[in-house]
Amino acid sequence: MAETADWRCDFCAAPDPVWLYPARTFPTYQVSSATTDYTGESQGAWLACADCRTFIERVAANPADRERFARRCATILARSLQFSQRQVLPQVEEIHAGFFANRLGTGRPWTAADATDEPPPPLRITPLD
């Protein structure tokens, strides 16, 4: 069994996710270099920590909370990446929009019993043809 300490919230990267939200796989971003284009793809279900789960449930009841949720996650991620929140916020908003558009249902509790495989990378990067 994989160590659960390696699993993180897919929204803010906090340890100890508690909830699993099913979602369709969807592209999250595209980056181009001089020789290759890459696309990032979200792979299926998303894990959420207790705080992010609270925000996700609030967004369902009050869509205005979506902006507060994105700002919260952008602030946390920017701090860990050593960027400003302003630099990170547009990407977080876009990724969250993809999650909410591709979410499949209400989700369920996530426990250590679910951690039977290695934790997936949050995004898969593949070259575009």
Question: pLDDT digit string (tens) for 30-55?
Answer: 666 677 766 677 888 899 999 999 99
Q: Are 49 and 11 in contact (CB under 8 A)?
A: yes
Write the pLDDT tens digit of every residue in 68-124: 999 999 999 888 888 889 988 998 999 999 999 999 988 899 887 777 766 555 544
Confidence at residue 2, expressed as pLDDT on a 0 to 100 scale: 47
pTM metric for this prediction: 0.78
Sign of the dihedral through C-alpha 13, 19, 21, 22: positive
Starting at the edge strand that comes first in sequence, how are the strands of the sheet with 108-109 ordered?
46-48, 19-21, 108-109
